Each structure stands twice: as C-alpha cells, then as structure tokens.
Amino acid sequence: MTDFDLAQSRSGSPNSRMPVPTASASIVPQDSVGGRALVAVVAIMTFLASLTTGAVMLVRASAVEWQSDVARELTIQVRPVPGREMEADLARASDIARRFSGIADVRPYTREESERLLEPWLGTGLSLEQLPVPRLIVLRLTDGADVDLPRLRTALAEAVPGASLDDHRGWVDRMRSMSDTVVIVGALILVLMLAAMVLCVAFATRGAMASNRPIVEVLHFIGAKDGYIASQFQRHFLVLGLKGGLIGGGAAILLFAAGGFAVNRFMATAGGDQLTALFGTLSIGIEGYILILLQIALAAALTAVTSRHTVNQTLDAV
Amino acid sequence: MVRFENVGLRYGLGPEVLRDLTFRVEPHSFQFLTGPSGAGKSSLLRLLFLSIKPTRGLITMFGHDVATLSKDALATLRRRIGVVFQDFRLLDHMTTYENVSLPLRVIGREETSYRREVVELLQWVGLGERINALPPVLSGGEKQRAAIARAVIARPRLLLADEPTGNVDPTLAQRLLRLFIELNKAGTSVIIATHDIALMDQYDARRLVLHEGRLHVYE
C-alpha cells in the first residue's frame, strides 16, 4: 500500500514507466449484452417490417397490373343470326373495330380456337356449325387509349345485328374491389407490423438502458447537465439502432433484389412465368426500396429517442 | 457556504424524516455527520448534494437559494461539490484514470489540459501503479481512493463522503482520514457521514448528530 504523504507524492512527476493514459473509453459502454440484444431485436423487426412493406408493394403492383390487363381488352361477341353468314359478320365487325383509334389489335378467334375454348365443357370433336354458339373478336387497346365505346357499340349494332360489345366492366369492377381489399389488408398488416416494431424497439431500448442507470446517476452527481447525459446516450443508441436497422433492412433489400434477379433469370421457364403471373417481376420498385430505407431510419431514430426519454425519466427519479 | 434554515423533508405523504434543520457549513471547515441508522443521514446528504429539494425551509448553497435554481444551474452548482459514495459508484468499463478524469471530461475540458493533473492526483492517493486498471480488479481500498480522487479532481469547495471507511480495515480508515484532513487543509470543506466512533475520536472536529430527524451540533 502506498502512503498518502502529500509532500512526498505531490513533488513527484507522472510515473515514466506507465503508458501514457488516455480517456479513450466512451462514457456509455460500447459493447454490452444489452446493446447486442438490442441490435438483434432492431435487425429482426426491421427485416420483418421491410418484408411486409415489400410484400404489400408487390401485391399492390400486381393488383394494378391485373386490373390494367383486363381493362386493356375488349371483346366483341357475334351471335349467330338465322340467315346471316357468321364469317362475313366477323369480318365486318373486325373492320369496324379496326377503324377506331386506340385499338391496337383486332383478332377474331378462328373456328378452331372457339372450339378449343368450349372443349372443357363440350368435349372434343365438336362442330360449331351444328350449334348456335357465338364467336369472339378480341380487341387489344393501346396503353392509355380512350376509345369511343358508345360509338363503337352503335356502329356494331347497326352493321352486324348479332354483335355486342363487352368492355369487361363487371370483371374490372370485381377485380378492382378484390385488389383494393388485398391492398387495404396488406396496409393494415403493415401498420400492425410497424406498431410491433415500434413497441419492440422501444422496450428493447429500455431494457438495454436499465443496465446503464448507474452511469446516468454518476454523471448526474458529478455535475453533468441533463442535456449532456441525454445526448451521450442518444448518440450511442442511434448508432446501435442504425446498425440493427441496416442489418435487417439490408437483408430485406438483398432478398428482394435476389428475388427480382431470379425471376428475370427464369422468366422464360414455366415456373418463372407462374411466379410472374402471380407477383409480377418480384420487383418492389424504387418506392419499395425508399420505404425500407425509411424504416431503417425510423428504427434508428426510435432507438435514439427512447434512450433519451429513458435517461430523462432516470434523471427525474434520481 | 451552506446554510440550512428550518429545513424539513418528507417523502410523499409520509412523516417528516428531517425536522427544523438549521445549521451552516463554513468554508475550510471539517465536520462529521453521525447518528443512528434511520436518523436521516442519507436524506441530509441527498439534500446537501442537491439530489432532492426540501419540503419546507431554505437551503442556500454558495449564495444561491437552491429552490429557485433551474436543473442546469443545479448541475453547475453540483460541480462545486464532490461526493464519495459508500458503494464507490465507479464505472466498470472505464480505467481508474478515466473514472477520475470524468468530472473534467463532462465539463468539456480537453484531455491534454488535465492529463498531468489526474496522474498526479492518482499518485497522491497511491494509485500511480493502477492508472490503467479497471475497477473490477481494484481492491476495496483502491476503489475507495479512486472514488475520493474522482470527487476532488475538479477542486470542489465542499466534499461529502458517505461512510468512506465503512468497507475498509482500521489502518486504511486512518489513512483515508488523513487524506480528508489534507484535502481540508488545501481549502475544501469536508463533511464525513459515519457511524465509526473510533474514526471520529481520531480527529477533533465539529460533529453534526442526527437523532430522530433533528440535528444537534457539537462544536
């Protein structure tokens, strides 16, 4: 034990054998069990929230695509009328449709194609001539075209007595309500997911802060101002939150990027085409990536703000 | 320097734990604060280091009525008070040097301006060889001295020590008392809260005795 002799020790200089000390340690411990657990919780919650966001974006994009696919097509139905030649009526109706602007393609279904359409119900070897079955002409619209449907309908009714125009309005309405429902359900799930993320991150931050209470008290008693103490913790927890958010959000971004790449690569295969039909190109688009980045920022900001709030509560209780 | 006038303290709706405390702590003075367990020593210490405010009465510290001060102003005032806790309250992730220099760090001083000062103080308290040690590897006596060094590094005008000899053997207790006496001679007012009659008998100083919430001063 060294003696505390004032005169003797005060005359001494710093011990030359000792390494020069430096105050390199952060006031808030950099590596703690609570901190690592917090990073893991933030990473997991950000990953799940990002997946939900991406899934909602995919569903929304697919729903819009389904709607526009249906809405881009019109069908002329030509019913057989006694005394009229079906093929001539089909040709006449096709000619009328071609004259209208906004129609990119007019394709009357051939007799064989019409037979194939009915095959599931009526079996093979069918001859349509023996049955009064209507024939179809599929009109494909140019993107964003505004076709004068009433005039087309009137023109068809005047020239071809058995023709009627179906703009699939009923289908589009049902498709729209279905896709709207899907998007609303997705948005609700996203809101719940974000709420869960907020709560989990807030509680995990409070948990990690619990072990730091003695540090807050010591800083308080040695005369540190509340703002100084809060900023020390806020900065530290912002870094933890950002780390967790980047791990979770980054993993989600990689997953979606890989998914998009895989779909593009297998586009021509049967499986790839099925996936594309269901989920589009599996690309969440730039909006999706921006939303994921925002969630990373949200997780980090939330962690920092919760730590500040907890410090203030601790200081009030000291 | 410190003036209490008719100070009373109660927690919530409970009974008054401190009643009609009226006393002064003069500059350069040395006093023991003693009394049986539950007499209110810890509460009085908390009032002295501005951790709580009284429910009645007036406390003036360094010429300021503490009831009227903002949180930031209280923090600034707290820098003139050094506190040695019974349980040391050293931060385990920081070295002895970092713990002791913490009060200077939080007031924004550059490390180059205080490094020599901290090292000299650590040598003075006999921790010259333990500068880079972490608190978990220090002995009880070393921790106590590190805590005292942290309390005095910013040259406080008032030093409060809560049972500073509670965890050490009589020889070390005597050495710690000598350290407090030296600090007092250097100009710091000292209040030592203790149960240790033997310690108080070693130095003739003013005694503040708390009994059932009331203070009796023996000059």
Tens digit of each residue's pLDDT (9 = 90 or more) over A148-185: 888 888 888 888 888 888 887 777 778 778 878 888 88
Mean pLDDT computed over B74-83? 93
- Let me know if residue B122 belongs to a domain: no
The tokens for B2 are 């410190």
Q: Which of A51-60, A177-186, B114-123 has the highest mean pLDDT?
A: B114-123
Question: Would the CB atoms of A222 and B103 count as touching at under 8 Å?
Answer: yes
A3 Cβ under 8 Å from any chain B Cβ: yes
B140 touches B171 (CB < 8 A): no
B73 Cβ under 8 Å from any chain A Cβ: no
- Residues facing residue B214 across a β-bridge: B211
* Amino acid letter for position B204: D
- Let me know if residue B95 belongs to a domain: no
- Let me know if residue B209 belongs to a domain: yes
State which residue of chain A sits closest to B124, comparing Cα positions.
A9
- Residues facing residue B192 across a β-bridge: B32, B161
Establish how many alpha carbons lie within 13 A of residue A86's alpha carbon, considering only the half-sphere containing its beta carbon.
20
Q: Is the pLDDT of residue B32 over 50?
A: yes
Where does the pLDDT of residue A259 fall: very low under 50, low under 70, confident under 90, or very high at 90 and above? Answer: confident
For the ranges A260-264, A279-283, A312-316, B182-186, which has the lowest average pLDDT? Answer: A279-283
Question: Would the CB atoms of B118 and A21 count as touching at under 8 Å?
Answer: yes
- Let me know if residue B214 belongs to a domain: yes
For the ranges A206-210, A292-296, B30-34, B215-219, which has the lowest average pLDDT? Answer: A206-210
The rounded distance, in Å, linking the Cα atoms of A273 and B214 is 88
B178 Cβ under 8 Å from any chain A Cβ: yes
State which residue of chain B sits closest to A3, comparing Cα positions.
B126
Q: Is residue B57 classed as helix, strand or coil in its secondary structure?
A: strand
Provide the pLDDT for residue A172: 75
- Let me know if residue B38 belongs to a domain: yes
The rounded distance, in Å, linking the Cα atoms of B125 and A206 is 38
Cβ-based neighbour number of residue B36 at 10 Å: 12
Number of folded domains in chain B? Answer: 1
Q: Is the pLDDT of residue B219 over 50?
A: yes
As a whole number of Å, the CA-based R_g of chain A is 35
The rounded distance, in Å, linking the Cα atoms of A306 and A196 is 15
| Residues of A (65-94) whose Cβ lies below 8 Å from B | none
**In sequence order, what E strands does chain A have?**
73-78, 103-108, 135-141, 163-166
pLDDT, mean over chain A: 81
Measure in Å the smallest separation between the Cα of B123 and chain A Cα atoms: 6
Where does the pLDDT of residue B207 fall: very low under 50, low under 70, confident under 90, or very high at 90 and above? Answer: very high
Give the pLDDT confidence of A87-139 residue by residue, as tens digits.
888 899 999 888 888 888 899 988 788 877 777 777 776 666 677 788 899 98
Provide the pLDDT for residue A241: 92
Provide the pLDDT for residue A197: 81
Where does the pLDDT of residue A18 fall: very low under 50, low under 70, confident under 90, or very high at 90 and above? Answer: low
Contacts of B32 (CB under 8 A, 6+ apart): B191, B192, B193, B194, B199, B200, B205, B206, B207, B208
- Let me know if residue B113 belongs to a domain: no
Mean pLDDT computed over A260-269? 74
Domain span at residue B44 reads: 2-90+153-218
Q: Which residue has the tokens 């108080």?
A: B200
Question: What percent of chain B stands above pLDDT 70?
Answer: 100
State which residue of chain A sits closest to B150, comparing Cα positions.
A222
Question: Helices A169-210 & A33-71, crossing angle to 10 degrees?
Answer: 170
Where does the pLDDT of residue A7 fall: very low under 50, low under 70, confident under 90, or very high at 90 and above? Answer: very low
CA B117 to chain centre: 20
The rounded distance, in Å, linking the Cα atoms of B79 and B69 is 14
> Element (H or E) spanning B135, and its range?
none
Give the pLDDT confidence of A69-94 residue by residue, as tens digits.
777 788 899 988 888 888 888 899 99
- The CATH number linked to B26 is 3.40.50.300
Provide the pLDDT for residue A152: 87
Provide the pLDDT for residue A14: 44
Question: Would the CB atoms of B91 and A318 count as touching at under 8 Å?
Answer: no
**pTM of the predicted model over 0.80:** no
- Let me know if residue B104 belongs to a domain: no
Contacts of A205 (CB under 8 A, 6+ apart): A38, A237, A241, A302, A303, A306, A307, A310
Mean pLDDT computed over B142-163? 92
Provide the pLDDT for residue A3: 42
Q: Is the pLDDT of residue A5 over 50?
A: no
Selected residue with higher pLDDT from B70 and A61: B70
The rounded distance, in Å, linking the Cα atoms of A173 and A176 is 5
Provide the pLDDT for residue B150: 95
User: Among A10, A21, A225, whose Cβ lies nearest the Cβ of B115?
Assistant: A21
Question: Would the CB atoms of A1 and B78 count as touching at under 8 Å?
Answer: no
